[in-house]
Structure 1
Amino acid sequence: MAQVRFIHTADLHLGSPFTGVSGLASAQRKRLADSVYVAFDTLIDYTLKEKPDFMLIAGDIYDGEDRTLRAQYKFQKGMERLNEAGIPVVISHGNHDHLGGGWKRFDLPANVHVFNDEVSSHSLTISGNKVTVTGFSYGERHVKEARILEFPQADETSTYHIGMLHGSMDGDSSHAVYAPFRKEQLLSKNYDYWALGHIHLRQILHSDPCIVYPGNIQGRHRKEIGPKGFYDVFMSNGETSLQFIRTSAVCFETLEVSCKEMMHMNELIDACTAVAERYINENNAVMAVLHLKDVDEYAGELLEGIPEEALLEAIQESLESSTADAWITGIVVGEDWGETRVSAIGEKISTTMSEWQQSDWKWVLKDLYQHPKASRYLDPLTDELIKEIANEAIPKIHKAMRAGE
């Protein structure tokens, strides 16, 4: 069976606004805002250098249904570069960039095939062999039905049959559930590869045949930690191999710092600086939350009464003397100290908040989202964002209401 090589990417989220970064300097905010475009350039540059047979983009090219002009222009130019190199691209749009959104259309070059909102197949001829790709684009943001039921069985006349699906596996609550499927449903189609999108955590759900989420190409907030990228896929003689290619220009990360037996504040600052420097020596720029662990009574005494902002400022100043690539945005004290010393009223408040439903959070946040000025700078209050706010709120309550404070 002939070899086929292709790029599997998804969730580019061009135009992502990035959230929770208000404390950064203007130069850092710009670098972060540009990072998704740097990641996209890395994707295109790698593809042009390696010259695979084709590229698959499994949904959410753009972050919003309005598709900003900068994002569309950048994508169109990238597709033109691939067209000049003779590399076909097959696209499906997802819940973020569905076909029903309002945007100014850009004319994509002839090498690009975009699925419409009906499940259909597109054939490519690679070295005389037929490769069939089946997929669909979201016609609207909320696709709740199991579109996998509409996918045909593998085309027996094709050398390879690949499925593209932007959706969630049943039971996965990490993202809003769209176009749900069960792994058994994918396997029953007898396809050679499933190119998935929507879930931003890189993962391989099955190895034979491969069912793969490549994750997004650039983390967008501190919940999307670690290096991001895409897969370079090789298929030959019934076997598939995957090579992960990193694209993220800035990594979000939680970095652990041991505070065991620290008795002086300079020791703590130096340890935090060293951990951050080690990370950027092995990776690109990092936006990190420091997790202070092994906080014994000595380190606990050091931390007592120190405002987080003051400690952040000292650590950042230490880092800036050696690198501009590490930005510390928060400090979390390990459960062995701060988290176990929450006041009674703090426990009562956090318990109540943990029982809130989506409607309760919307009621609490409604004044902010209805504010004539503030609302313009806020992301849409989706179920996913509410879940993120809820997950971050309770630890902040604990931190603010420690016993004795």
Structure 2
Amino acid sequence: MTEIRFLHIADLHLDSPFKGISSIPQSKWKEIRESTFHAFTNIIEYAVENKPDFVLIVGDIYDGENRSLRAQALFQKGMEALQAKGIPVFICYGNHDHLSGKWVRFLLPDNVQVFGEKVETKTLNIKGEKVHISGFSYKERHVLEGMHSHYPVANGQHIHIGMLHGSVEGNMEHDVYAPFRKNDLIAKGYNYWALGHIHKRQTLHNDPPIVYPGNTQSRHRNEQGLKGFYDVTLTENNATLQFVPSSAFIYDEVEVSCEGIVHANELINLMEQSLNSYREANGNAIVELTLTDISEETSELIQASSKEEWLSLIQESLEMDHTFIIVKELHVNLPNMERKESNMLLEMMEEWETAEWKHVLKDLYRHPKGSRYLPAIDEQFMDETMQEAKEILSKVVTRGE
């Protein structure tokens, strides 16, 4: 087999709306909303510079069935840039950008081949070697049929690649479309399965490779870590996959130990230094910052101001540095304080007399409809309620630790 090289890309979600950015400084909103476009531009620049034999884009190029004019114009320019370098592109549309959507039509350049709603095979010649690429585009958003059954079995004489936007049958982490089982794909005898739809990068099988590259840009806290695509080299007996990051930024979680911190300026400097060190090592990021190892003295310092005020302060400080690292949320681990407060509450409840129980619960017992279903406030009621309170508070404290 002649060595061939291609890019395996999926789930660009161009023009995706971002969720949960209200707590982020407004000055950064534009950069965030543009990030799927920046990731796409990074991919095109990589392809132009490295000149693979061809490019595969396995579904969900656009985030919605009504593809925005701007997203399509950007994609068109990217395809034209690849055409100028003589790089063929094969694309299939997924559940987000299915063929039944309504959009302004663009005529893609001649180097781009698009799969229709039925499984079909397209062939190209690379260095005298025939490469057969099979795939399909979603006719509508919900494709529940196991489309793998329509893919032809490889004849073993040439290179066979399958493009499939779908998920493993029974997957509970994502909507299941075009379901398949791993053995279903192995049985086809292909050299490589280029998958899309699942945004987590993963390899389901090594020989042959059955691969999800993940999406190309993180869009919310559940899509953490590096995002990108694969640069794949196939030879007769081997497949080499090189992951290439494309993200404009990543989502992540950062922990900062506050051991020995007793003054506000120390805490601010510590957070700034930790976050800048993280950015130098990992690049641009939106993070959830968690403060750990908090003594009672440090806890009093932190609780002297609201968490919102601390968050605003660190956001402003980072913005002044003109770096793209954004603290989206601030978490403070106070397990010792939680236990202390829980014990104080239980001790106070144990000292209540019947009259105090009635005073605390008076609004509940005065409810015109609900009160008829409530038990009398007696010794048994107070004992059972105390036991339930202990169990609930114990779970809260344990979770915090």
TM-score (norm 1): 0.81
Question: For the residues of structure 2 that align with 1:9 and 1:338, how far apart are their CA atoms?
Answer: 48
Question: For the residues of structure 1 that align with 2:38 and 2:264, how far apart are their CA atoms?
Answer: 38
Question: For the residues of structure 2 that align with 1:155 and 1:335, how far apart are their CA atoms?
Answer: 63
Instruction: Note if 1:39 corresponds to 2:39.
Output: yes
**1:94-109 alignment runs, 5 A limit:** 94-109=94-109
Deviations 1:66-111 (A, max 9, x none): 0000000000110011111111000011010001111111000111
- 1:364 maps to none
Cα deviation for residue 121 of structure 1 reads 0.8
Instruction: Note if 1:7 corresponds to 2:7.
Output: yes
Cα deviation for residue 282 of structure 1 reads 2.1
Q: Number of matched residues?
A: 346
**1:357-396 alignment runs, 5 A limit:** none
Cα deviation for residue 184 of structure 1 reads 1.2
Cα deviation for residue 341 of structure 1 reads 8.4
Cα deviation for residue 339 of structure 1 reads 7.5
What is the SS of the residue equivalent to 1:211? strand
Contact 1:94 1:137 in 2 (8 A): yes
Question: For the residues of structure 2 that align with 1:126 and 1:274, how far apart are their CA atoms?
Answer: 51
Cα deviation for residue 179 of structure 1 reads 1.2
Cα deviation for residue 255 of structure 1 reads 1.1
Cα deviation for residue 338 of structure 1 reads 7.4
Deviations 1:266-305 (A, max 9, x none): 2322222122101211233211110222334333333335
- 1:320 maps to 319
Question: For the residues of structure 1 that align with 2:341 and 2:162, how far apart are their CA atoms?
Answer: 50
- 2:78 maps to 78
Deviations 1:325-347 (A, max 9, x none): 1111111233745787898xxxx
Contact 2:218 2:249 in 1 (8 A): yes
What is the SS of the residue equivalent to 1:140? coil
- 2:277 maps to 278
Structure 1 alignment gaps of length 5 or more: 344-397
Cα deviation for residue 147 of structure 1 reads 1.2
- 1:371 maps to none
Question: For the residues of structure 1 that align with 2:203 and 2:310, how far apart are their CA atoms?
Answer: 40
**1:20-39 alignment runs, 5 A limit:** 20-39=20-39
What is the SS of the residue equivalent to 1:330? strand
Does the C-alpha gap of structure 1 residues 341 and 21 become closer, same or farther in structure 2, counting only changes over 3 Å?
farther
- 1:230 maps to 229
**1:135-284 alignment runs, 5 A limit:** 135-158=135-158, 160-284=159-283
What is the SS of the residue equivalent to 2:34? helix
Structure 2 alignment gaps of length 5 or more: 343-395
Question: For the residues of structure 2 that align with 1:33 and 1:319, how far apart are their CA atoms?
Answer: 20
**1:46-61 alignment runs, 5 A limit:** 46-61=46-61
Cα deviation for residue 315 of structure 1 reads 1.2
Contact 2:25 2:315 in 1 (8 A): no
Question: For the residues of structure 2 that align with 1:320 and 1:332, how far apart are their CA atoms?
Answer: 20
Cα deviation for residue 19 of structure 1 reads 1.3
After superposing the two structures, state which structure 1 stretch, 321-330 or 300-309, moved more: 300-309
Question: For the residues of structure 2 that align with 1:139 and 1:78, how far apart are their CA atoms?
Answer: 24
Does the C-alpha gap of structure 1 residues 2 and 281 become closer, same or farther in structure 2, counting only changes over 3 Å?
same
Tell me which amino acid in the other structure corresponds to 2:168: M
What is the SS of the residue equivalent to 2:175? coil
Contact 2:24 2:327 in 1 (8 A): no
Deviations 1:134-172 (A, max 9, x none): 1111111011221112222113332x1011111111343
Deviations 1:200-250 (A, max 9, x none): 111111111111111111111121112211100001122000111111011
Question: For the residues of structure 2 that align with 1:228 and 1:59, how far apart are their CA atoms?
Answer: 16
What is the SS of the residue equivalent to 1:46? helix
Contact 2:296 2:337 in 1 (8 A): no
Cα deviation for residue 253 of structure 1 reads 1.3
Instruction: Note if 1:311 corresponds to 2:310.
Output: yes
Does the C-alpha gap of structure 1 residues 119 and 338 become closer, same or farther in structure 2, counting only changes over 3 Å?
farther
Q: Considering only aligned residues, what root-mean-square deviation do their CA atoms show, in Å?
A: 2.2
After superposing the two structures, state which structure 1 stretch, 266-275 or 98-107, moved more: 266-275
Cα deviation for residue 125 of structure 1 reads 0.6
Does the C-alpha gap of structure 1 residues 337 and 59 become closer, same or farther in structure 2, counting only changes over 3 Å?
farther
Does the C-alpha gap of structure 1 residues 336 and 255 become closer, same or farther in structure 2, counting only changes over 3 Å?
same
Question: For the residues of structure 1 that align with 2:315 and 2:137, how far apart are their CA atoms?
Answer: 44
What is the SS of the residue equivalent to 2:38? helix
Cα deviation for residue 192 of structure 1 reads 0.6
Question: For the residues of structure 1 that align with 2:340 and 2:207, how far apart are their CA atoms?
Answer: 49
% of aligned pairs identical?
49
Contact 2:23 2:329 in 1 (8 A): no
Question: For the residues of structure 1 that align with 2:56 and 2:337, how far apart are their CA atoms?
Answer: 47
